[in-house]
A = this chain, B = another copy of it.
Amino acid sequence: MQITAQTVKELREKTNAGMMDCKKALVETGGNMEEAIKYLRKKGIINAAKKSDRATKEGIISSYIHLGGKIGVLLELNCETDFVALTDVFTQLSKDLCMQIAATDPRYISRDNIPEDVITSEKQIYMEQAKQTGKPPAALEKIAEGKLNKFFNEVCLLEQPFIRDPEQSVEDMIKLAISKVGENITIGRFIRYQLGVK
């Protein structure tokens, strides 16, 4: 099996082990990165498979606690440079997004993040509901599609109406910030805790 220099380099960066050890580990494990790390640990060459500390993106982690601790939000908002991460526009955007998430409890960032089985199950439900209307079969699919779109608007953060200006979507608001700071901004991840509700 041929191990590329790129793979050896990646393992080196992940583990700080020597070049020859990394190459040997990859050869022994058929080039599988996870297994190669285990191999290096088994041989006592590295101590623990710790998460890499090398951040690949700039931005900020911000939080918002609502109602004296009944709801909490944690958000990673990314940009391209540390300089932009420190601007007022960027920090204000991260605050607004935290409040949005606290208020509206979105389940996903965008449609792309919704698992296929959730979409299938929702669509089934809307088709059944559509059948109850007594409308002609030809119209049912369209009714269900409309309801599915409404579902996406509700559960996807980017599609929600922005709470501080419901004429705009959250995505519009992010695009506005992008035009102001002059570099790309993306939502890395978010989570919302509500006391006693998992």
What mask results when residues 49 to 66 of chain A are scored 1 for a CB within 8 Å of chain B, else 0?
001111111111111110
The DSSP consensus for interface residues of chain A is: mixed
Given known A55-B195, A57-B196, contact A42–B74 (CB-CB < 8 A): no
Q: Does A137 contact B (CB under 8 A)?
A: no
Query: How many A residues touch the partner, as a band?
Result: 35 or more
CB-CB < 8 A to A60: which residues of B? 68-70, 195
> Does A129 reach chain B (CB closer than 8 Å)?
yes
B58 touches A196 (CB 8 A): yes
A197 to B154 alpha-carbon distance, docked (Å)? 29
Q: Is residue A187 within 8 Å, beta carbon to beta carbon, of the partner chain?
A: no
Identical copies in the complex: 2
In the complex, are the beta carbons of A197 and B51 less than 8 A apart? yes
Interface centre among A52, A64, A196 (most CB of B within 10 A): A196
The answer to whether A195 touches B63, judged by C-beta atoms less than 8 angstroms apart, is no
B48, B52, B72, B129: the one contacting A61 at CB < 8 Å is B72
- Shortest distance between the CB of A49 and any CB in chain B (Å): 9
26 contacting pairs across A/B (C-beta < 8 A): A38-B121, A42-B128, A42-B129, A48-B154, A54-B196, A54-B197, A55-B195, A55-B197, A56-B196, A56-B197, A58-B195, A60-B68, A60-B69, A60-B70, A61-B70, A61-B71, A61-B72, A62-B65, A63-B74, A69-B85, A72-B76, A73-B74, A74-B74, A74-B193, A76-B193, A189-B193
